[in-house]
Amino acid sequence: MIISFAGRRGVVSSSNLNGGYRNDLHSVFNHSVGRDPNILQKRCPGLKGANIIEHYAVIASELGLDPEHTTGMGTAALIENHARAERTYHGVTVQAIATAGIDVNGGRAGDKASYDEFEQRSLLPPPGTINVFLFIDAYLDPGALTRALITATEAKTVALQELMAPSRYSEGLAMGSGTDSLIAVCNEESPVVLYGAGKHVLLGEMIGQSVKEAVTKALDRQSGMNAQRQSSFLQQGIRYGLGVEELLALYQARYPEVSRDAATLRRGLQRLATDSHLSASIASILHLVDQWRWGLISWASLIDLSQYTLSYIAQRYRLDSCELSISREEATRYELLLDELRQLLLQLLDRESGHLYIYIYIIN
């Protein structure tokens, strides 16, 4: 995606190529490697230069752009899956254009690093990047335009938070990926001059709404990450070992004598995941664990309220009841609580997949 300017523009870019604040650029670009055979086969294609700056300069030249007067971003998301959103007030339009995919590379600030740049080793990050263009049809001074980047980043994070996107590097919620980029562009030829871009001013509201909407739509288009999918406990539970693959492995370890194929078990899990009461109950326990990890609730509160919810699940679905017997000395071992939750889910899966197995047998 290449966007050429029709006049003089102020640009703040997180790109290595002509990044920072510039007002002498002619264009911006978002370059996709989503169909590169090396990327598809999880091989590192290498840089097209001695460093990342030269790499993007070569890409700019290949796109027919002047490397000295352009800035750009890279992504493995497909450009055709981009999304746009805009807001207009008082004759000023704010438009956000996003490409987004975060299913395999979501992360949280402070997660353990996967790369030590001081060792000068090659790096192939998992595919997954949120790139955003932000266009503001008004003049902003360099400081205000930089503040617009902060507001846009907050809006991106809101989109991920409301989808409960998981970090793939910790038990936390994702705030973005390690390769996200953002380019904000203002119109230096506009007679409208604005000095603020934070949430308290109307421009900040427009930025927040447009970026959040564009990122939310782009995530859905690229990988199907949307509210319906994310409402499932299989999605919200991934960061705590409650994903499909983890539960299948646990089931096969617990019931080695049961001859049900993986496809039947997967169908059973997917059917369970459509139960909104079950997903909501599990989500409440996971959020309590989050709150305890963040130091917001006591261990006693976590155990008491989790016990209440586990008992509700057991009673509602007629499962073997469970009693949490975790002492205060084991407070750091909230994994024991999650184990109890997993055992209830395995009971449910055994029953559900058994019904499916009988149904499929009768049909065949």
In terms of domains, do 191 and 220 share one?
yes
In terms of domains, do 103 and 169 share one?
yes
Among the listed residues 211, 213, 219, 210, the one whose alpha carbon sits nearest the alpha carbon of residue 78: 219
**pLDDT value at residue 331:** 54
**pLDDT value at residue 356:** 44
Number of structural domains found in the chain: 2
In terms of domains, do 204 and 243 share one?
no
In terms of domains, do 275 and 180 share one?
no
Q: Which residue has the tokens 């703040």?
A: 12
Q: Give the C-alpha separation, 55 to 61, whole Å.
A: 10
In terms of domains, do 178 and 211 share one?
yes
In terms of domains, do 295 and 311 share one?
yes
Could you list the residue range(s) of the whole structural domain that residue 30 is in?
2-226
**pLDDT value at residue 259:** 64
**pLDDT value at residue 357:** 41
Q: Give the C-alpha separation, 256 to 47, whole Å.
A: 48
20-40 burial code (b ≥16 CB/10 A, e <16): eebeebebbbbbbbbeeeebe
In terms of domains, do 254 and 114 share one?
no
Give the Cβ contact number of residue 109 at 10 Å.
11
**pLDDT value at residue 51:** 87
In terms of domains, do 239 and 131 share one?
no
CATH code for the domain of 209:
3.60.70
In terms of domains, do 179 and 328 share one?
no
In terms of domains, do 164 and 48 share one?
yes
In terms of domains, do 311 and 181 share one?
no
In terms of domains, do 300 and 358 share one?
yes
**pLDDT value at residue 124:** 55
- Give the C-alpha distances (Å, rounded to integers) separating 101 from 78, 177, 239, 264: 9, 9, 17, 29
User: What are the pLDDT tens digits along the chain (364 aa)?
Assistant: 999 999 999 999 999 999 999 999 999 999 998 776 666 656 566 678 788 899 999 999 999 999 999 999 999 899 999 999 999 999 999 999 999 999 988 999 998 887 777 776 655 566 679 999 999 999 999 999 999 999 999 999 999 999 999 999 999 999 999 899 999 999 999 999 999 999 999 999 999 999 999 999 999 999 999 999 999 999 999 999 999 999 999 998 888 876 678 888 899 999 999 999 999 999 999 999 999 999 999 998 999 999 999 999 999 998 877 776 666 555 567 888 899 899 999 999 988 876 544 433 434 4
**pLDDT value at residue 12:** 98
Select from 210, 226, 242 the last residue of a domain.
226
* pTM: predicted TM-score of the whole model, two decimal places: 0.90
Sequence-distant (6+) residues with CB within 8 A of 72 are 15, 17, 28, 29, 30, 31, 56, 59, 60, 65, 183
Select from 205, 226, 247 the last residue of a domain.
226
Select from 187, 205, 226 the last residue of a domain.
226
